[in-house]
């Protein structure tokens, strides 16, 4: 039983290592020579992203938009392996997520209702409380 668990953990680690190396190489290849020299000693893609965030402040909306644009327009090339395509998509989802994109199902602001005749939406009025019969909580 322990040997099988070891094999599963090792396999998962090997897959993570391969995905991390690919993401790290994509990041290093897309930056300037000066930045890539500074970051090539870092082992994980996460370390590189954290360092870049520290250097340049808040994540750029342009990076987020480019990642989302790539995701929307991505097509699997003929002869490309499914695994490689999926890893490529995962990298871009992670870039978008690290730069402030909400995924489907995450909470945002409460429900909004557009006021009649006005363009701006207002917060929806909540109904009466089931327990105490008071409006708005």
Decide which of 126 and 99 is more confident.
99
**Is residue 12 a part of any domain in this protein?**
yes
Domain of residue 79, residue span: 2-107
What's the mean pLDDT in 105-113?
53
Residue 128's SS3 state is strand
Decide which of 58 and 29 is more confident.
29
What's the mean pLDDT in 107-136?
61
**Is residue 112 a part of any domain in this protein?**
no
The pLDDT, as a whole number, for residue 29 is 92
**Is residue 129 a part of any domain in this protein?**
no
Q: How many CB atoms lie within 10 A of CB 87?
A: 16
82: Cβ contacts below 8 Å, ≥ 6 apart: 76
pLDDT > 60? residue 39? yes
pLDDT digits over 68-83, tens only?
888 889 898 899 999 9
**Is residue 99 a part of any domain in this protein?**
yes
pLDDT digits over 85-98, tens only?
998 888 888 888 87
**Is residue 137 a part of any domain in this protein?**
no
**Is residue 127 a part of any domain in this protein?**
no
**Is residue 62 a part of any domain in this protein?**
yes
The pLDDT, as a whole number, for residue 2 is 79
Say how many domains are in the chain.
1
* pTM exceeds cut of 0.85: no
């Amino acid at each position: 039983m322990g040997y099988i668990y070891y094999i599963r953990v090792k396999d998962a680690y090997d897959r993570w290592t391969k995905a991390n190396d690919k993401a790290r190489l994509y990041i290093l290849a897309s930056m300037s020579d000066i930045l890539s020299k500074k970051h090539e000693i870092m082992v994980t893609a996460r370390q590189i992203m954290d360092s870049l965030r520290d250097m340049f402040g808040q994540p750029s909306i342009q990076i987020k938009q480019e990642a989302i644009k790539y995701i929307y327009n991505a097509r699997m090339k003929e002869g490309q392996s499914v695994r490689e395509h999926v890893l490529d998509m995962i990298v871009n989802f992670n870039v978008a997520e690290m730069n402030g994109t909400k995924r489907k199902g995450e909470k945002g602001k409460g429900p909004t209702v557009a006021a009649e005749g006005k363009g701006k939406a207002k917060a929806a009025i909540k109904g009466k409380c089931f327990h105490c019969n008071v409006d708005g909580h």
